Amino acid sequence: MIFIDTKKYEYKKTVDAIALGLLLQLSLFSFLPSLVAKLFLLCRNFGLSADSTILRYIYSCADIIVYMAIFLLPALFISKYVPKNDGIVTYSPRLPKRFFEITVTVLGLITVASYVTSIITIIVSNYGIGFREPLIVPPKNTVDVVLTFVSMAITPAVVEEILFRKVILNSLTPYGKKFAILTSAILFSLMHCNPSQFLHAFLAGLFFGWLAIKTGSVLPSMIIHFLNNALAVFYLTLSAFAPTNVYLYVSSAIVWVLMILGLVLFTLLIKDKYFDVKNDADLQDHPNEFNLALSGIRILVVLYLAYTVFLTMKWIYII
């Protein structure tokens, strides 16, 4: 009984630390970008025009630094205050068997989820509800392409995986691997605060969490996360520099190939029972004692969910 009570206490402390850390992440996300905007205005006061190439580069570099802080500061906070556990997710360079198949599967299914989201968007628009999309400025030259690649592909793949897989997933694994994967995927989806990104972010979070658990490393999820974001940068760059018909043809071809291959490979991997996840023996021996979902709703979790809903509403508008 003492062991069970200790486990529940540690669980509640873990949940509170994660919720508070994610509240910090959302708060930083809400106000830090405005500091970049102020830097932008400050530079303009020194005589640089809004179209200045130097100003764009300064803005892009500052944006990268800010984005890193938005995720790494909460990661440090959560790591400091969650109960210490051995954890199973490290930074070791481990890749699973059939990694190429897994990569194509995940990229394909994320594409399918994005396609389904676009259909849902069209359906709800018939009822007078619209979802705003993030404003992304296409690159204008080679340096812009490099900075866009760093800010949209490399940086998010690294810092988001550190927070949600290395820190949050790792902190939750003592209470069940499946529970940790599902919870971290939900939190990863909610973090985007944008209905048009919820579905594919949740699906990606499930696969990234499974990969981290299976390999004991955050590296595989970082790689696939990076490749997914790199595809988005490729589409953006293609739309900026290629003729419209070439962009539509190439992007459509990639999307359909990825979706078909992803669904086929996913079916084969499911048939081989490749995605099975087993909890640790001590959790399996005492399933009722560790039904932690019934241990009470934490006020910090409620606050986090409320703040997420508040930020999400900014992306919804009435047509």
**Contacts of residue 270, Cβ cutoff 8 Å, sequence gap at least 6:** none
50, pLDDT greater than 70:
no
pLDDT at 131: 80
- State the amino acid at position 48 in one-letter form: L
Q: Both tokens of residue 89?
A: 């997710």
Task: Return d(Cα 272, Cα 264) in angstroms, integer.
Answer: 13
Q: CA 249, 253, 255, 256 torsion: positive or negative?
A: positive
Q: What is the pLDDT of residue 13?
A: 84
**Average pLDDT of the segment spanning 49-56:** 66
The number of distinct structural domains making up the chain is 1
Question: pTM of this prediction?
Answer: 0.88
Quick count: other Cβ atoms within 10 Å of Cβ 58?
Answer: 17
User: Distance from CA of residue 71 to its chain's centroid?
Assistant: 11
Whole-number pLDDT of residue 48 = 58
Secondary structure class of 217 (helix, strand, coil): strand
Q: Domain limits at 162?
A: 2-318
- Residue 264's pLDDT is 95
Look at residue 301 and tell me whether its pLDDT is greater than 60: yes
Element (H, E) at 1: none
Of residues 96 and 226, more confidently modeled: 226
Half-sphere exposure of 24 (CA within 13 A, CB side): 17
Mean pLDDT score of the chain: 84
> 304 or 22: whose pLDDT is higher?
22
Q: Predicted confidence band at 45 (pLDDT cuts at 50, 70, 90)?
A: low
